Structure 1
Amino acid sequence: MKNSSKPLDWHGDEIFGPASGNNPHNDAPNVDYVKNKFLNIPYGEISNSQKLDIYMPNIKRFDKCPVIINIHGGAFFGGDKYDGQLKPMLEALNEGFAVVSINYRLSPEERWPAQIEDVMASIDFIKKNSDFYRLDNEKIILWGGSAGGHLSALAGVLRTDILAVIDWFGPINFLTMDEQWKKIGIDGEKHNHLNSFESFLMRAQITRIPEIVKKTNPETYITKDLKTKFFIQHGLKDSIIPYLQSKNFSDELSAYIGSENVYYEELPEAVHGDRGGFFSSKENLEKIFNFIKKYL
């Protein structure tokens, strides 16, 4: 089931997109086995959307847990902190990580930059309350797919206190995607038109506001002083976000901070999302956890 939206500040067509709300697709993981969890904690006062869940590993420990923050995808339009996208992240509990899953204001509720502002606010909340929840505020990893990959990457380059980013098939430069389809020979989803999810997010056709859209691009903020490590994966059969988004981003990162700090991989058979389980396979998650642990 899809949601539809036509806010008062939107002058295009009614937009239909991914469902939102708690467990919108009835595919959320069973978290009954998690003994210590804190659900629906407000991290902001602007919107009811500004809530997060904290899941703690089922082990006795006296030190603070490193933190993985799950930022869900859904074209900036839908998705939820408690949906199927959380499943692979919860595997980190078995590795001794705490998992924080956040909601943020989606595009039907508020235009950009509300989404990245909420991600930043959730990180600030975690750091401020790290003693209470026994979280290590110096070991924060951001992890998301699609729109969540974009928000993870953007926060990862904007902040100085993020250890690592796991970016699965996230859009990076909204304005180059349509041209990239031509380069790789895929007739994929178009993004430059007025009624695209990106234009709806910005409340204007993105091709008409390139300087504003530039501010959404993580590449805009890369410097040689960037300390965050990046693990980036993209499917070669993705027809929603061209894999060149991730490749070009990883190349740009490597040029500034060194290829040893950036892992990039193309998955030949993977499409957008995790259909086929290529991203959430046991072998792939082990690869991600080993990457993170190198920097703990």
Structure 2
Amino acid sequence: MEVFIKVHGGSFYKGDKNSSGLNKIKQAALDRGYAFVSINYRLSSEAKFPAQINDVKAAIRYLRANAKWYNMEPREIGVIGNSAGGYLAALVGTSGGVTELQNSSLGNSNVSDRVQAVVDLYGPINFGTIDQQFVESGINGETCNISSSLESKLMGQDISTIPGQVAKANPETYISIDDPAFFIQHGTSDRVIPYQQSVDFAGKLKIVIGDKKVYLEIIQGAGHGDEQFFTTENIKKILDFFDANLKQS
């Protein structure tokens, strides 16, 4: 049984595995024959980056190491996330095997943390460009380059003062030819994360892994977490993507 992992949103400081709108996809996934796994990760009030990605990678290793026990297919693992969870899903997708973002003390250090398909719904990617993209769009969005921003709280310092650390947290930094397929959606009216984050990320992925492995859809008029992302039709799109990249790979 193929599996995909749900990573919840919540701006890095709130939420848990039961609180995401992505739970709406659960029954449809089960009906398609998937194992559906929801995970928690340490929030920014508990630990700073890279603890969050350490936790997600540890969960992937645990599932792969114990796949036989759970009747799962260990080779085929997908990950889906929205907002902060979309960011973590994207980072997992590009940083497979990157030891700098692993924490072997969390267990199963000899097991791969790579995934075979990624769904990123309106996640941030490059914290350093968020403010300028809102300016370019004429959208009065949430400010990122201040010490009180959610991204700065995640990193433990005003992000404008730590460009090197921001680069280490950016999924684009780790893009490589062996990255999995990506399904990316974002809305043009998002006031939390500018849609250009997804446009730029998808563009950089396509250069390296090719157009056929990157699906990007910009939804006109959609805001952050709007219902357009969770309609029956859109859930079918997401599951069709997983079918194509997990069940037939």
Q: CA deviation at 1:139?
A: 1.1
- Cross-structure match for 1:159: 96
> Please, which of 1, 13, 17 is the counterpart of residue 77 of structure 1?
13
Aligned-partner SS, 1:182: helix
Match of 2:128 in 1: 175
Deviations 1:240-260 (A, max 9, x none): 000000000000000100010
Question: Equivalent pairs: percent with the same residue?
Answer: 45
Give the residue type in structure 2 aligned to 1:210. P
SS class of match (1:73): coil
Write the distance in 2 (CA, Å) between the matches of 1:239 and 1:212: 24
- The answer (yes or no) to whether the contact 2:206–2:214 under 8 Å persists in 1 is yes
Higher relative contact order (CA 8 A, sep 6+): 2
Alignment of 1:122 with 2:59, yes or no, is yes
Amino acid at match of 2:224: H
The 5 Å alignment of 1:173-252 reads 173-226=126-179, 228-252=180-204
Distance 1:165 1:88 in 2: 18
> Which structure has the greater CA radius of gyration?
1
- Selected match of 1:281 from 200, 209, 231: 231
TM (normalized to structure 2)? Answer: 0.90
Question: Matches of 1:266 and 1:165 in 2, distance apart?
Answer: 17
| Structure in which a larger fraction of residues adopt helix | 2
Q: State the alpha-carbon separation in 1 of the partners of residues 7 and 86 from structure 2.
A: 7
- Structure 1 segments of 4+ aligned residues over 3 angstroms from their partners: none
Question: Is contact 1:89-1:99 (8 Å) kept?
Answer: no
Q: Which moved more, 1:80-89 or 1:232-241?
A: 80-89
Normalised by the length of structure 1, the TM-score is 0.76
* Structure 1 unpaired stretches of 5+: 1-64
Identify the range of structure 1 (190-199 vs 80-89) with the bigger mean alpha-carbon deviation.
Answer: 80-89
Partners of 2:195 and 2:221 in 1: CA distance: 12
| 2:224 match | 272
Who is 2:105 aligned against? Answer: none
Deviations 1:43-93 (A, max 9, x none): xxxxxxxxxxxxxxxxxxxxxx11110000111101110124242330211
Q: Select the structure that is richer in strand.
A: 1
Contact 2:22 2:82 in 1 (8 A): no
Supply the distance in 1 between the matched residues of 2:175 and 2:14 (Cα, whole angstroms): 28
**Count of residues in Structure 1 that have an aligned counterpart in Structure 2:** 229
Where 2:17 maps in the other structure, the secondary structure is coil
Aligned counterparts of 1:218 and 1:180: Cα–Cα separation in 2: 18
Instruction: Give unpaired runs (5+ residues) of structure 2.
Output: 98-113
